[in-house]
Amino acid sequence: MRVALFDRGPELNSYLLIVIHHLVVDGVSWRILLEDFQKLYQQLSAGEKPSLPAKTSTYSTSQGKLTEAELNAAAKGFSSPLLQAPWRYFDAYTIKYHHSDPEVDAMYRHTQERSRNLADRGSGIVRADIDAARRAAGESPWTALEPDLEVVA
């Protein structure tokens, strides 16, 4: 961290330059730091002793405010169903070429229902739904072709 004060004389405003590497502080942290600097400046300008409120360790979550210990305990106790058997071993190939497997379909629906990015965007459709729609329209369903692998020496 580097700090420099540019004193431009009694007639002009001074400038305070604060430089911190981007790996140390992000946009949210900058706002917090600037609020603290402004509060300290106002206290010093008013002749008061500079002081900041005590550091807090509460985190806002969807379950309300949690202390650091509560947040760590919740994180340690979390286990995603996607990391448990049998879904743990599914890869893109399995999902793409074995979409009719009930476990693959269940995993796909589970992830789509819980996706923040796809919420309320018709994300529940799966390959079987598309095949049913094609059949209803008199078309043949898509077939998953196994990729031809050729070994070149």
**DSSP conformation letters of 60-113:** EETTEEEEHHHHHHHHHH---GGGSTTGGG--HHHHHH-TTSHHHHHHHHHHHH
In angstroms, how far is CA 119 from the centroid of its own chain?
15
> What average pLDDT does the segment 62-72 reach?
76
Q: What is the pLDDT of residue 9?
A: 92
Q: What is the pLDDT of residue 120?
A: 57
Answer whether residue 6 shows pLDDT above 80. Answer: yes
Average model confidence (pLDDT) across the chain:
75
pTM: 0.36
The domains of the chain are located at 2-76, 81-136
Q: What is the pLDDT of residue 146?
A: 41
115: exposed, middle or buried (C-beta count within 10 Å: 0-12, 13-18, 19+)?
exposed
Q: What is the pLDDT of residues 118-138, one digit of tens each?
A: 555 554 566 666 677 777 877
